[in-house]
């Protein structure tokens, strides 16, 4: 069975045709429970998210800040497994029709087996993977299997990336390019810096892939600002913090839906 890379590409193209940025929501799989995580994805799409990133909780994150680390710890203590992430992708995609990627560090895939992981993700209806710590020069095996199974390979670029490095990364990636708005870990910020706009400009000079900006985007105003220069707006920690702070799961899910609606309005006011 082929994955849904083409659905991801079509969804981003449709947003562009509407002269707006796409809204991409990140939610950790297995948080607060597996069923609760699936419900959170549904709530984000109901609010207006175009694309979903399901995080595979990992004990040694390098990109995730304290909010997502806290959620990951809850998921890991709850016993979340890769099979639960595949179930999350399958059930959420079947319920919403949205393209769903998995965001994961390389170690869990390496231990699970690249062929097994890509085959199962495609079978679950996944659109691809975001791999923040996989060096492009070491990604050949992954890309071979991802291509075979119709999955996108999304790499992360940073403000520190030199132009030649950007060209190497974008030549190897598919789906879109994840542009980190600043040097640092995920989390909400007061503003999204000018570094992000410059990074998008430099990345676009190397590729026709959509460039989507994440890290630090948390409000409708942030979304509006980023939508003015990027093809997609990625929001994660703000959703997770709502769920962590909510008095109960129902309130958390309503918070996710409401924030997605605010952000969806923001990306339409570019």
Confidence (pLDDT) at 61: 59
Catalytic residue among 50, 64, 72, 120: 64
- Residue matched to tokens 């994440």: 214
Residues 147-205 have pLDDT tens digits of 999 999 999 999 989 999 999 999 999 999 999 876 444 444 454 567 889 999 999 99
Q: Which helix (H) or strand (E) holds 4?
A: none
Kindly give, in sequence order, each residue whose CB lies less than 8 Å from that of residue 199, ignoring residues fewer than 6 positions away: 157, 158, 159, 161, 179, 180, 181, 213
* C-alpha dist (Å) from residue 44 to 63, 100, 145: 22, 12, 30
Dist CA 53 CA 100 (whole Å): 6
Confidence (pLDDT) at 62: 61
Confidence (pLDDT) at 113: 98
Angle at which helix 237-245 crosses helix 66-77, to 10 degrees, equals 60
Dist CA 269 CA 211 (whole Å): 18
Mean pLDDT of all residues belonging to the chain: 92
Q: Which of 51-65, 87-101, 198-212, 221-235 has the lowest mean pLDDT?
A: 51-65
Q: Is 53 annotated in the active site?
A: yes
pLDDT at 222 over 90: no
Angle at which helix 163-172 crosses helix 194-204, to 10 degrees, equals 60
Q: Is 64 annotated in the active site?
A: yes
Catalytic residue among 50, 53, 91, 231: 53
Confidence (pLDDT) at 187: 42
The predicted model scores a pTM of: 0.94
% the chain with pLDDT above 90: 81
Q: Which of 61-75, 89-103, 197-211 has the lowest mean pLDDT?
A: 61-75
pLDDT top residue among 62 and 43? 43
């Amino acid at each position: 069975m082929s994955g849904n890379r083409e659905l991801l590409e079509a969804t981003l193209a449709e947003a562009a045709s509407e002269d707006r940025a796409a809204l991409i929501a990140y939610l950790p799989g297995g948080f607060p429970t597996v069923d609760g995580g699936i419900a959170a994805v549904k709530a984000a799409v109901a609010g207006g998210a175009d694309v979903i990133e399901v995080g595979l909780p990992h004990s040694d994150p390098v990109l995730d800040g304290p909010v997502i680390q806290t959620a990951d710890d809850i998921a890991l203590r709850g016993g979340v497994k890769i099979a639960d992430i595949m179930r999350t992708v399958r059930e959420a995609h079947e319920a919403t029709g949205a393209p769903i990627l998995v965001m994961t560090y390389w170690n869990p895939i390496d231990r699970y087996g690249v062929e097994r992981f890509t085959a199962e993700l495609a079978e679950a209806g996944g659109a691809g993977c975001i791999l923040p710590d996989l060096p492009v020069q070491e990604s050949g095996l992954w890309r071979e299997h991802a291509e075979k199974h119709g999955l996108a390979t999304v790499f992360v670029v940073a403000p520190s990336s030199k132009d030649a490095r950007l060209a190497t990364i974008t030549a190897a990636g598919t789906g879109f390019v994840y542009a980190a708005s600043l040097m640092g870990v995920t989390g909400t910020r007061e503003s999204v810096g000018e570094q992000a706009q410059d990074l998008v400009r430099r990345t676009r000079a190397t590729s026709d892939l959509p460039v989507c900006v994440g890290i630090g985007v948390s409000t409708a105003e942030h979304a509006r600002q980023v939508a003015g220069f990027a093809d997609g707006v990625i929001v994660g920690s703000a959703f997770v913090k709502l769920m962590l702070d909510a008095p109960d799961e129902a309130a958390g899910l309503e918070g996710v839906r409401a924030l997605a609606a605010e952000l969806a309005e923001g990306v339409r006011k570019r």
